[in-house]
Structures are given as structure tokens and as C-alpha cells.
Structure 1
Amino acid sequence: MTAARLVTRRVVELLVVFVGVSFVIYAMVFALPGDPIAALGGDRPLPANVVAQLREQFHLDEPVWRQYLYWLSALLHGDLGTNFAGQSVADKLALRWPVTITLALTAWLIEVVVGVALGLWAGLRRGRAADKAVLAGTILASSIPVFVVAVSAQLLFGVRLGWFPVAGTAAGWPMSYLLPAACVALFGLASVARLMRGSVIDTLHSDFVRTLRAKGLPRKEIVGVHVMRNSAIPVLTFLAVDLGYLLGGTVVIEGVFNLPGVGNLLFQAIRAHEGPTVVGVSTALILVFLVTNALVDLLHAVLDPRIRHA
């Protein structure tokens, strides 16, 4: 398969998945029972003319599929929509993205460095005490709920020891982000370490590694070049998926540490029944997730020639 055909195929698949997922999210938000316009007034109902104007502006008096087409048309022109208060969703996202991106990339970097190192270390020492310790530690890390880890880390390292700020981003990077990023990264780190360990063990027992050993190549070169490259392919897939999760799944962490990020914005929008904001934020997260996975698929083709010629 040529590079152009591979890229074209990935782009088409990305578009199909995006349309399907975005329509499901839009339908779930706007087809659910309840009147979001009536909720704006709280205990005091809005005037009938205001309600009618808002319904017409947001096409709420039309079928959901037609509402989605209006929204999709605006999206193609770079408009993520406006909320019921007239605020641009894109502008609200622009204020929140730096915090979430900084938090996600810090957590992702911790996963890559620590997770890959632990997995490689355990895989090269299969059956030894180090291997068993890594397996036990990763299982323990995966079994603790994220909010328990976050609150416990905040209490221990923020309140009692005073090593990190308890909340907010006033201290800047890295101090304000290291502790919440470590809490987010703990679960992905455990998966990366186990996946890397298993991939290293499989690669070490493959035929081409036996051939390299028979040719007399140094162990450092075998592990550092050939084993690492072939073992990294499944790990890259997980890391790409996990980066999308980190960008969209930090609602709890941003809430515990009071970080004004996208996750916090999404939570506030859900609580306030702001359907346009929920859809706009979800769309941005979907695009990041899909583009990241498409790039990793292309990277796979670079790392493994068998994928290019499949």
C-alpha cells in the first residue's frame, strides 16, 4: 500500500468515525427529556418571547437530525457554537486548553518515561524479584480509585508535607501540575509498564533476536535498538489512546485540585444543562483523540514495514 493510499484511507475512516460519534453525542444531549431553555430561568420562568427566540436561535423546535446538520455546517466553518448565554464555546475552550494540555502532557510524559522504563526493567528480569515487584505494584496502582489517590496525595504531599500546592495554578509549571499529573498518570503508567514488559518478553524470544545473538551483537545494541523498537509498537498504540483519555478524562483531578481546565468546564456545563457547551467541548476532545490515533497508525507504518504492505 502506497503512502498516499494509506493516508487517504485513514482520513476517510477518521471522518466516518467523527460524524458517527459526534451525532451520537449531539443526540444524547439534545434528545434527552427536559427543557434546557426553561432551566435558564431557574425558579423564575423566562418570558414567552425570550423562550421562543432562544428556541428559534438554537433550532430546538426542529428534529434532532436537522439540528445536527445545522451544527455540523457551522463546525465546518470553524464555529463550535455558542451557549444559551451567548458566549462562544471556542472562546471558553481557548481559556481552558492551556491548563488541560499542560496537565495531560505532564502526566503523559510521566507515563512514557516511568512506565516504559519499569516495563523494560521487568521484562529483562522476568521471574526475578524486580519483575514480581513491578507486577505487584502496577496491580495495586490500578485497583485504587482515582479520587482516592488524588485526595490522599493532596492531603499527604500538599497539606502535611507542603511539597506541592494544594490547589490552583498560581505556582505555575511544574509545581502546580506535578502532583495532579502524577495522580492521573498512575493508572496509565501501570498499564504501560505491564504492556511493555509483555512486549519485551515476546520480542526477546523471537527468531530475529536469536539470530542477532548468534551473530555476536552486543546485548546493549540488541536491547537498545532492536528490542526497544519492536516492543514499542503496541505501547505506542496504548499511549496514543491514553493521551486522548488524559485530555478528556481529567474531570475528577481538575475538580479535586481546582484546576480551571477543559474537564472542569465540561463538568460545569453538564451541571448547568448547557448543551451547546457540552457538545462543543466533546467535539474538540473527539477531534484530538481521532487525529492522535491517525498519526500513530501512520507511525506504525513507519516502524513496521509489514503494516505498509498489508
Structure 2
Amino acid sequence: MILARRIGARIAEFVLVFIGVTFIIYATVWALPGDPIAALGGDRPLPDNVVAQLRAQFHLDDPLWLQYLRYLGGLFTGDLGTTFSGVPVAERMASRWPVTITLALTAWIIEVVIGVVLGLVAGLRRDSAIDRTVLFGTILATSIPIFVVAVSAQLLFGLHLGWLPIAGTDAGWPVAYILPAAVIAIFGLASIARLMRGSVIDSMESDFVRTLRAKGMPGSRIVGLHVMRNSVAPVLTFVAIDLGFLLGGAVVVEGIFNLPGIGQLLFSAIRTHEGPTVVGVGTTLILIFLVLNVVVDLLNSMLDPRSRHD
């Protein structure tokens, strides 16, 4: 019964947040200065009758709330809208998703593997030089804007050292994706390392570890079987939710590294005032993040009985 109420509450929160955030995105995009219909003609203005027809077709003269309700109704049928050139937004996104998903998953693997290892080593060697280095590095990593890290990585590893390509996907996976994925992973990696370090320290100071040591169990077995199992639980929650953040972060990095994914599509749509595409991409990313958030929260409720009473 408690779990059922929690599921109902999370679904209600999901709906409210989704409607609120998508409305903000929709209102912000259509409040931008400039006429998107006029922009279609470029340097040569479109005839007045064509402009009037397009505005009527896309309901641009209706009140904003009515436009949003019509868009929301389309979402429930799987319709993300249609571009001003008549192409469904979902169709434009379909060819771009493989690049974005590949980039996000590559970054996810990098941050999970390296973050867990760094956090484990730092936690086991608390207050050592390695621990202080990890703490300093994680603070430094989260203090630098992502575009600064991306451009610096391009200059160092791409132009000066020539180790990796700085743009495009011609080299294929993993070569073309390592550099941009590493840039995205730095921020999540820092959080995972600090979270893992704290969990390891708590586990090592717990009563069950003292008991196992008193029974003569080897230290490697204690860490491998018991400390890791207890320390990784909060990390799993973070990395599951962080996958949604990685998809959003990929949008920025794709623009810098010129990767033909969702990010490049979004930047192109912003430049050309292609409102339906901007709203469609933003809505999809928000939906993915909210779904991951709800799923992780419900899994925690089922796996950890203590969280059911929160």
C-alpha cells in the first residue's frame, strides 16, 4: 500500500513537472524576438499570402496558451510537431539519436569506471596524498565551464598533440567519441568519485567491518565483498539519474565538436528560428530525464525498505 501511494505520488509529480517545464520551454522559444516565418525567405521576403497561410497553418496568431494546449495534445499521440518546411520533428531527430546516445553512453562508461575507482582508492587511503589529489581534482573539474574544457581539450589533444580528431564522426567509434565523451564525463566523474569516497569511508568505519576484521577475514575480501557492495548503492542511484544529464550535456558538446547529433540539430534550429524543432528537442530531453528520475526513485523504494517511509 505504501509503495502504491509512492508510485501514485511520483506519477503525479511527473505530470506536474512535465507540464510546467514544457510550458516554460514552449513560451520561451516562441517569445524570442524575430518572425520565424519571415526568416524562411532569407534575403527575399515571402509574399504576404504565403506568410498568412503559414501563420494560419501553424496557429501562430492564436493565444500562447491555446498553442501550447494544441501542442500538448499532439504529444499524447506521439506528435512532436512539424517544422516550417513540413518535415515531422520526430523524423528529423530519428537520424540524430544514434550519435547522441553513443556519445552519452561512452561518457557514462568513462565516468562510472574512473569515478568509482578514484573514489574507492581515495576512501581506502583517507587523508593520504592520493586522497587530497582526488579531492582537489574533483573540485577543479566542477569549477570550470564545460565549453572551456571542450575547447581546451580540442587545442591540446587534437591540434597540438594530434592524438584524437577534434570534430565529426568520420573516424568512427571509439576514436571520434573519446574526446567529447571525456569532456562530458569529467563533471559526473567528479561527483561519483566524491560520493564513492564518502561511502567507502562510512563503510570502513562501520561496526560490521570491525567484526569481520576481528574474525580474521582478509582486508581484500572485506573490501571486495562487503565494503564495495555497501558503498556502491548510493552511487548507482546517482549514475542512473546522471544518464539524463549526460544527454543534455551532449547537446552543448556536440555543437563544439561538430557531431551530427541532437545537439547540432538544436543549434541549427536556434540559428534559423525553427521553433518546433527547438521545442521538440527540449521536450524529449526533459521527458527522458523525468522518466529516469521516476524509475530510479521507484527502484530505490523496492530495493531499500527504509526509503519507503520517506
Query: TM-score w.r.t. structure 1 length?
Result: 0.91
Secondary structure class of the residue paired with 1:249: helix
* Counterpart residue type for residue 21 of structure 1: V
| 1:231 Cα offset (Å) | 2.7
Q: Which residue in 1 is equivalent to 2:44?
A: 44
| 1:35 Cα offset (Å) | 2.3
Report the number of matched residues: 310
In the alignment, structure 1 segments of 5+ residues that lack a partner are none
Please give the residue correspondences for 1:53-68 in structure 2 after superposition, counting only pairs within 5 Å.
Answer: 53-68=53-68
Q: Which residue in 2 is equivalent to 1:133?
A: 133
Please give the residue correspondences for 1:10-49 in structure 2 after superposition, counting only pairs within 5 Å.
Answer: 10-49=10-49
| 1:305 Cα offset (Å) | 1.8
1:104 aligns with 2:104: yes
Q: Which residue in 2 is equivalent to 1:177?
A: 177
Q: Which residue in 2 is equivalent to 1:279?
A: 279
Q: Matches of 1:35 and 1:307 in 2, distance apart?
A: 50
Higher deviation after alignment, 175-184 or 155-164: 155-164
Higher deviation after alignment, 135-144 or 122-131: 135-144
Q: Which residue in 1 is equivalent to 2:70?
A: 70
Q: Matches of 1:218 and 1:8 in 2, distance apart?
A: 46
| 1:207 Cα offset (Å) | 4.3
Higher deviation after alignment, 92-101 or 201-210: 201-210
1:31 to 1:141, Cα distance in 2 relative to 1, 3 A: closer
Q: Matches of 2:52 and 2:208 in 1, distance apart?
A: 70
Higher deviation after alignment, 82-91 or 145-154: 145-154
Q: State the Cα RMSD in Å.
A: 2.1
Q: Matches of 1:29 and 1:112 in 2, distance apart?
A: 35
Q: Which residue in 1 is equivalent to 2:159?
A: 159
1:22 to 1:293, Cα distance in 2 relative to 1, 3 A: same
Q: Matches of 1:146 and 1:67 in 2, distance apart?
A: 35
Q: Matches of 1:230 and 1:49 in 2, distance apart?
A: 68
Q: Which residue in 2 is equivalent to 1:262?
A: 262
Q: Matches of 1:27 and 1:212 in 2, distance apart?
A: 59
Q: Matches of 1:23 and 1:208 in 2, distance apart?
A: 50
Cα deviation 1:141-190 (Å, max 9, x = unaligned): 22333233223322332334333223211121111111111111112211
Q: Matches of 1:152 and 1:17 in 2, distance apart?
A: 36
| 1:309 Cα offset (Å) | 4.2
* Counterpart residue type for residue 51 of structure 1: V
Higher deviation after alignment, 26-35 or 215-224: 215-224
* Counterpart residue type for residue 114 of structure 1: I
Q: Which residue in 2 is equivalent to 1:240?
A: 240
1:233·1:303 contact (CA, 8 Å) conserved in 2? no
Higher deviation after alignment, 229-238 or 295-304: 229-238
Higher deviation after alignment, 69-78 or 142-151: 142-151
2:184·2:253 contact (CA, 8 Å) conserved in 1? yes
Secondary structure class of the residue paired with 1:82: coil
Query: TM-score w.r.t. structure 2 length?
Result: 0.91
* Counterpart residue type for residue 180 of structure 1: P
2:36·2:275 contact (CA, 8 Å) conserved in 1? yes
Identity of aligned residues (%): 71
Please give the residue correspondences for 1:205-220 in structure 2 after superposition, counting only pairs within 5 Å.
Answer: 205-214=205-214, 217-220=217-220
2:240·2:292 contact (CA, 8 Å) conserved in 1? yes
1:147 to 1:24, Cα distance in 2 relative to 1, 3 A: closer
Q: Matches of 1:58 and 1:225 in 2, distance apart?
A: 60
1:120 aligns with 2:99: no
2:100·2:262 contact (CA, 8 Å) conserved in 1? yes
Q: Which residue in 1 is equivalent to 2:144?
A: 144
Q: Which residue in 2 is equivalent to 1:299?
A: 299
1:88 to 1:198, Cα distance in 2 relative to 1, 3 A: same
| 1:6 Cα offset (Å) | 3.5
2:122·2:131 contact (CA, 8 Å) conserved in 1? yes
Higher deviation after alignment, 243-252 or 64-73: 243-252
In the alignment, structure 2 segments of 5+ residues that lack a partner are none
Q: Which residue in 2 is equivalent to 1:197?
A: 197
Q: Matches of 1:228 and 1:141 in 2, distance apart?
A: 25
Secondary structure class of the residue paired with 2:171: coil
